[in-house]
Structure formats: structure tokens, C-alpha cells
Amino acid sequence: MAKSYLLKGDVNRPGRISVEKGMTLRQIVDELGGGMANGKAFKAMQIGGPSGGLVTAEQLDLPLDYKALAEWGCRRGDGVITVMDEDRCMVDAAYSFLRATQADFCGKCISCREGTKRMSELMGKLVECKADESDVGMMLELGEVVHMTAFCALGKGSGSTLRVAAMEFSDDFQNHIEGACPLCAKETRLPVAPGDGIPYDRKQVRIDPNKCKGCSRCSRACHAEAISGVLKSPYSIDQSKCVKCYTCIELCAFGAIEEVTIDG
């Protein structure tokens, strides 16, 4: 069964795409996205929104399957796939995704609330070429702590993009530590923008009562206690409590939960 995603970034045909089961990341870029824009080479793909994961050219022949991509922190998330070309600095990209995650968290757990804030501050120093190797080490350590202690998938994945970027694109990080990044110096485009561009207050996560089997898995996993219902009957989501961490979407085995955009 095909699933809908938003493909954005440095491809010739960005927009809403339908991904069939078994389709590889390379097929998504080349066939659905029309290839890389302006003839540039592929550098990285970020899957799953701000708290999703980052993959490199070495993983392009893997299918868009979250078990296969779990090592890189990839998740369904908000269903956004962002492609970046060879001229994108991964320090700048990781900072953009980290700031988006830090702005979206609910603030319930201290590790996520404080950890992402400190990570964002340190990352800001690195972007401005004012950080050193110890600052980078502290960021990565904080990311691991938040991953282990955060309540929801949004918090647990807050450092995924940063972790892979620092490991796979160490030259970009070293350039910023040394005080001069050639990619940032020549880049004239706007920075990579995480997410689908829809305002946070116009998104809702809803349960389709016609598909819900009443298994309660989503309710048991919801740290915000926003999902309620009776076993073997359709569950529902209290929008005043939902923090849109997308954990329920990823857990539902029946495809009954989805994010929708409300008008107005």
C-alpha cells in the first residue's frame, strides 16, 4: 500500500508524493523527485521531520522502511523527506532541524526541555564558528541523554540528525571549529527549512473511527494522556492535550491515525 509524503529540498520536482512499499530512497530522488536540481550531487536526506534521521549516499539503495533505517534515527514523523545537495553545510542543516525540534516540544520532561535548549545554544556557537571540539562532544552527549530519558519520540529523536551529521560529515564540523566554512561562505540560498511549512496550530492528529480497532496501543504510549477510549471501540484524541509528537501514528498497525490540516 502506498503512503503519502512531502518531498522537499534540492530536487527538480518537490511536492506531495506517493511511495509504494519497497521503493528505495534512490527511486524517491530520481523517479519521484526528478533527480537532483541544477545537476548537483546528492549529499544527504533527512527523513521524518525535525526529529527524524539523516541518511547519506551509502544508504540510497535501502527501501523506505523504518526497520531498515532505524540505525540512522529515521521515523515516519510528520511525513516529510528533505533532500540536500553537495553544497549544503550539514552544520547549518543540523542546526535548523534542532531548532525546529526545540520549538515544538511540549516541555513536560526536563531532559527534553532543558537538553534541547542547551544543544541549540551550543549548535548556535558552532554555526558562528565560535565552538570547539569539547562543545561538539557536549552536544552529542546531551543528545544521548535526551534520547534515553525523553518521554516521546519527538524528544528521543531530537539529536538524531546532529549525531549522524557529526559522524558522516565531520569535515563540515571541523571547518566550523577551525573558523571558516567554504560551503557557508558561498551559499546564497535560504537555509534548509524543516517540516512541511504548515503552522503548528493548523495541524491535528486524528483517529479514523472506521479504521481504529480499539487495541489501545496508542493510548498506552501517549505520554500526554491525550488519547482515550474503550477497548475494541474507536479511540479519540483530545486536541487540547495533543503535542503532535507522532508516536501514535508510528505505532498504529491499522493506519487509523493521521495528521490533517485544518482550514482557517
pLDDT by position in tens, the chain (length 264): 678 899 999 999 999 999 998 999 999 999 999 999 999 999 999 998 888 889 999 999 999 988 888 888 888 777 899 999 999 999 999 999 998 888 777 777 888 889 999 999 999 999 999 999 999 999 999 999 999 998 888 888 888 999 999 999 999 999 999 999 999 999 998 888 888 777 878 889 999 999 999 999 999 999 889 999 999 999 999 999 898 888 899 889 998 999 888 875
Do 45 and 83 meet the contact criterion of CB atoms below 8 Å apart? yes
CA distance linking residue 250 with residue 228, whole number of Å: 17
pLDDT for res 120:
93
Nearest Cα residue to 113 out of 89, 149, 79, 138: 149
Neighbours of 164 (CB within 10 A): 23
Q: Is the dihedral of CA 68, 74, 77, 80 positive or negative?
A: negative
The CB density around residue 251, as the number of other CB atoms within 10 Å, is 16
Strands 227-228 and 257-261: unpaired
CA distance readout (Å), 151 to 103, 112, 223, 225: 16, 8, 6, 12
pTM equals 0.85
184-228 pLDDT tens trace: 999 998 888 888 777 878 889 999 999 999 999 999 999 889 999
Contact yes or no for 88/37 (Cβ under 8 A): no
| Average pLDDT over the chain, rounded to an integer | 91
pLDDT value, residue 264: 56
DSSP state letter for 31 = I
pLDDT of residue 232: 95
What is the set of domains in the chain, with CATH numbers? 3-85 (3.10.20.600), 90-186 (1.20.1440.230), 200-261 (3.30.70.20)
Give strand ranges (E) for 51-207: 53-56, 80-85, 203-207
pLDDT at 211: 96
In the three-class reduction of DSSP (H, G, I as helix; E, B as strand; rest coil), residue 94 is classed as: helix
> Cell numbers 484524541 label which residue?
237
Distance CA 211, CA 49 (A): 25
